[in-house]
Structure 1
Amino acid sequence: MKTKITFKSIIFSISAAIILFFILFFVILSLLNKKPVAAFYGIPENTQKGITAVLQKTHTRRNKKSLPYEIVILNDTLDLKSAIKNSKKPDILFIYNGRNAEYAASLAAAKKSGFDAQVLNGMTTSVKTTAYSANGKITGVPLLIDNYEIDVNLNAFKNSGVPAVNFWNDIERLAEKTKSASVVPVLFSAGNDEMLINVFGALVES
């Protein structure tokens, strides 16, 4: 049985091929030009601006006209799962540590993404413990940490005979030497016992 090829069928086939070509062309073009999405959840506006400024300087897009990252602010009045569901899926997410961060790290692990463990080299143990890992990959790393600060009463310090405050035993000596002359010879910026432990760990490792 022979199929009769008509002029109309040839035109239709050529038209369909051209349309398919343009569809594929624009799909490929959009994929090549797709920006990675950087999202913020529960991060203060001034911190967002600081991180965004650094992100947008990381590389230059091929067209040299648009910024490399698309920035998304997730609705932090919702739980993270709902916030992500109602928004573009982020490629990188900035968030405070906690349950939401655990959920974000599990999403990254499910996509089999992450950094090599060596990304944590040089960090103190107290910082390393805030990282999330799965399948040998680091799926969440600390970018910003709370300020660990030890304030020393300079007047008490000058009269204490302690030459320097570099180690924990120096702090103990200073406190012992000045306990009768000063009400507060040493002050820690620790809001709770967990932060105090982190201050201690950072000091010991330094």
Structure 2
Amino acid sequence: MSKQNFFEKYKLFIIGIAGLTIILIANLIFLGNNTATKIAFYQIPENTQKHIEAELLSITEGKVKFHTLNSSKPLSEKEAHKYHMIITYNSRTAINIGPEPVPDNAIKYLPTKIQLSTYQDGKNYALPFLLDHYELALYTTYKTQLGLSDISDFESFKDYLEKIKEAADFPLIAIGSDDNELIGFVSAMAQSIYGVNEYFDICQEFNKAQARGDEIPYRIRVVLDEIKELENLGLLHKNWLNANIKDVIFLMEQHQLGAFVTYLSTQRQIPYVLIKYYNSYLFPQHNSTAFGVIAPEIVALKMESDKNVDLIFEKLISNQVQTNLSKKTMLAPTAAIAESSDIQSDNVRYWCAAANGGPVPDFQKASFIGPDRLHEYADKIREYLK
């Protein structure tokens, strides 16, 4: 029988086998995707996300599928429930998307104040597992040379900056050119002035004002006036609104800077040979008895049941994974006895655990507004401060 006749005779059979093979392969791919735990990242910096992904792959032996969600628009509950887990910052968004309660065996290893930061309606809606922090850094050389005491509150901070003028060309600088840093500075000042309870009310004012394009609310203008006063007194660098991290590094290299304020995550960009001469401090408080710490928390949210999800929650808070994440991301761990990357991150965890208001988000993370609108409002703040 010729090859042509053979093919003609068995054509339908061959086509059928080929079709079944394709269907089988497609089903295997489909089942493979369905058995993988789907984890989505929302608004997490790329480098930090990379390190978290590496740990999750290790925990689950690769049985996960990662997704990066659009950070320029609000995350809806419907969209969030397409995934087994969401990793994002603790915020109003985290509550609104309707996560399932965090397993008790995970949350119990956190200090009480950090536990309470995600506690609502009788449950913990999220598991905080890394902490950033908006903090103050002081140049220890000038502090020692001038014999200055530690800062106890905001008034003593201003007095410290006045004395530092004897040695430093620029007593203090903030990074005003970056929207996130600018909002962090305003948030830290607001929490310092008003205390943690009123701070959350101001977060809502900030959110509504941005959403509607309103003018700056009165209580935020009070905060901005306090910042302007620092500048008028010659304590805050007059061009801080245009400053970036490279400017801070340059002033440090020239030994012209007495102090700076920034996020811990931003501070990690500074070479060790410079930053080793600076000690980090909790942002100084006004005379408020109820204060929190501006420490954005990266949290895990359980959206759908999956056997890997409970394992991930348990392992995320284990000493080994917490230590790994802290060392790789250079952020602070949340578990009470996990090893931190260094004294800076260890201090952040301690401050969050000790403050009566615990860790609180900055204005931007307290309630989501898209980057474009945030930038517009940040420019409105800059215009007011000029």
TM bin, normalised by shorter chain, reads: 0.5 to 0.7
For the pair 1:57 / 2:51, whether they are aligned, the reply is no
**Deviation of the 1:176 alpha carbon:** 7.3
Counterpart position of 1:205 = 354
Rate the CA distance shift 1:83–1:96 in 2: closer, same or farther, 3 A: farther
Deviant stretches of 4+, over 6 Å? 186-189
Whole-angstrom CA distance in 1 between matches of 2:169 and 2:82 = 53
Helix, strand or coil at the partner of 1:178: helix
1:114 to 93, 102, 119: 102
Identity among equivalent pairs (%): 22
Helix, strand or coil at the partner of 1:158: helix
1:89 to 82, 105, 110: 82
Q: Deviations over 1:72-119 (max 9, x none)?
A: 22233443117717xx72222112333322213xx224xxx3132524
Rate the CA distance shift 1:180–1:79 in 2: closer, same or farther, 3 A: closer
**Deviation of the 1:39 alpha carbon:** 0.8
Q: TM-score, normalised by structure 1?
A: 0.56
- Paired residues in the alignment total 157
**Deviation of the 1:121 alpha carbon:** 2.0
Q: TM-score, normalised by structure 2?
A: 0.33
Which shifted more, 75-84 or 152-161? Answer: 75-84
- Listed as ranges, the gaps of 5+ residues in structure 1 are 1-25, 61-66
**Deviation of the 1:203 alpha carbon:** 8.0
Whole-angstrom CA distance in 2 between matches of 1:44 and 1:75 = 12
Counterpart position of 2:38 = 37
Whole-angstrom CA distance in 2 between matches of 1:203 and 1:95 = 19
Counterpart position of 1:139 = 125
Rate the CA distance shift 1:115–1:160 in 2: closer, same or farther, 3 A: farther
Larger radius of gyration: 1
**Equivalent residues of 1:40, 1:73 under 8 A apart:** yes
Trace 1:1-206 onto structure 2 (pairs within 5 A).
34-60=35-61, 67-81=62-76, 84=79, 89-104=82-97, 107-109=98-100, 113-116=101-104, 117-121=107-111, 125=113, 127-128=114-115, 130-135=117-122, 137-162=123-148, 165=150, 168=152, 172=156, 175=160, 178-179=163-164, 181=166, 182=168, 185=171, 191-194=185-188, 197=192, 199-200=283-284, 201=293, 202=351, 205=354
RMSD (CA atoms): 4.0
**Deviation of the 1:53 alpha carbon:** 0.7
Structure number with higher relative contact order (C-alpha < 8 Å, ≥ 6 residues apart): 2
Whole-angstrom CA distance in 1 between matches of 2:165 and 2:74 = 51
**Deviation of the 1:42 alpha carbon:** 2.3
**Equivalent residues of 1:39, 1:74 under 8 A apart:** yes
Whole-angstrom CA distance in 2 between matches of 1:114 and 1:121 = 15
- Listed as ranges, the gaps of 5+ residues in structure 2 are 1-26, 175-180, 193-281, 285-292, 294-350, 356-386
Whole-angstrom CA distance in 2 between matches of 1:203 and 1:176 = 25
Which structure's residues are more often helix, by fraction? 2
Helix, strand or coil at the partner of 1:120: coil
